[in-house]
Amino acid sequence: MNYEILFLIKQWKSFNISGEIFKFPKKCFGQPAAKTHPHLIQAGEVTPGLTKTEYQQRRYNLMQKIIEKESGTHLDSHIVIIPAAAKTYMTQDIPYPFRQNTEFFYLCGFLEPDSLLILEGKPGSLPDHRATLFVPKKDPQKELWDGPRSGIDGAVEITGVDSAHNVEDLGIYLSHYIRDNKNFMTWYDYSRPAHSTYHGREITQFLRDNNYQYIKNPRPLIHSLRVIKSAAECQLMQKTCSIASQAFIDVMKSSHPGVCIKVFH
């Protein structure tokens, strides 16, 4: 029955279990979305409380910071490369709990591992830019075990980036960028790579092909943006504080002499 249920998740089909009818949406994503989890995500949101416009503004603000930092230089273009975190395993088939790379998550809200975000802009058009996501390819067999993947269409629909590609095309995309652009700045955290596989393969090859010219770390710029909170972020922080405060109150109400701390976990 497990295989049948997992298969039906991808279809507009219903089935009967113990007299109850279950119906799954035809389209699934690699993270909660308004279509699949309307009780968690509102229309237009990427993550709870944060809309596509909010994430677009964050990317815009980063490119604005790049303009301010690089004013007076004679570079023709800028490319920002932000990898997602990689999935890591305890054993061959058992992964550790996944935590997304903070900088990647801040700029696009995409939760799937082994992805990558590229921002491209030219001095004459900055802070306007192009945002491209590289995501794991749809694979029905792997999705039976690991859960659904958004794929390129789903990634664009969820996050609102300009375009998306399968991550297998990253090397070709970067080589075409070098072919079509000269005298550009690469913004990439070379000292602390977030994804060792992409760093050691596609990204290092890209930097080598450009003779390791003009490389700067975007992390300080992103961190300077994160210090200033938007109205939506402040609202989320207030909500999380309220939930945590209520949790402490509930614990104190239930505690009394003789109750061990493990009871409250």
Question: pLDDT tens digits, residue range 112-163?
Answer: 999 999 999 987 787 889 999 999 999 999 898 888 999 999 999 999 999 9
Q: Is residue 260 part of a domain?
A: no
- What average pLDDT does the segment 10-18 reach? 47
Instruction: Tell me the backbone φ, ψ of residue 115, rounded to 5 degrees.
Output: -110, 180
- What average pLDDT does the segment 25-45 reach? 89
Q: Is residue 27 part of a domain?
A: no
Q: What is the CATH number of the domain that holds 212?
A: 3.40.350.10
- What average pLDDT does the segment 5-31 reach? 56
Give the type of residue at 252: M
Q: Is residue 34 part of a domain?
A: no
Determine the pLDDT at residue 17.
Answer: 47
What percent of the residues of the chain are helix, what percent strand, and what percent coil, each to the nearest 5? 45, 15, 40
Determine the pLDDT at residue 70.
Answer: 85
Q: What is the pTM of this model?
A: 0.86
pLDDT band at 25 (very low <50, low <70, confident <90, very high): low
CA-to-CA separations, 225 to 48, 153, 219, 228, in angstroms, rounded: 20, 29, 10, 6
Q: Is residue 81 part of a domain?
A: yes
Closest by CA to 184, choosing from 211, 214, 208, is 214
Pairing of strands 116-121, 77-83: antiparallel
Residue 57: is it exposed, middle or buried by C-beta count within 10 angstroms (0-12/13-18/19+)? middle
Q: Is residue 87 part of a domain?
A: yes
Helices H / strands E in the chain, number of each: 10, 10
Q: Is residue 3 part of a domain?
A: no
Q: Is residue 21 part of a domain?
A: no
Q: What is the pLDDT of residues 184-215, one digit of tens each?
A: 999 999 999 999 999 999 999 999 999 999 99
The span from the CA of 180 to the CA of 182, in Å, is: 7
Q: Is residue 145 part of a domain?
A: yes
Interacting residues of 187 by C-beta distance below 8 A, sequence separation 6+: 66, 78, 79, 80, 81, 215, 216, 217, 218, 221
Domain tally, the chain: 1
The span from the CA of 166 to the CA of 4, in Å, is: 28
Closest by CA to 164, choosing from 131, 197, 186, 195, is 131
| Residue range of the domain that includes 186 | 55-238
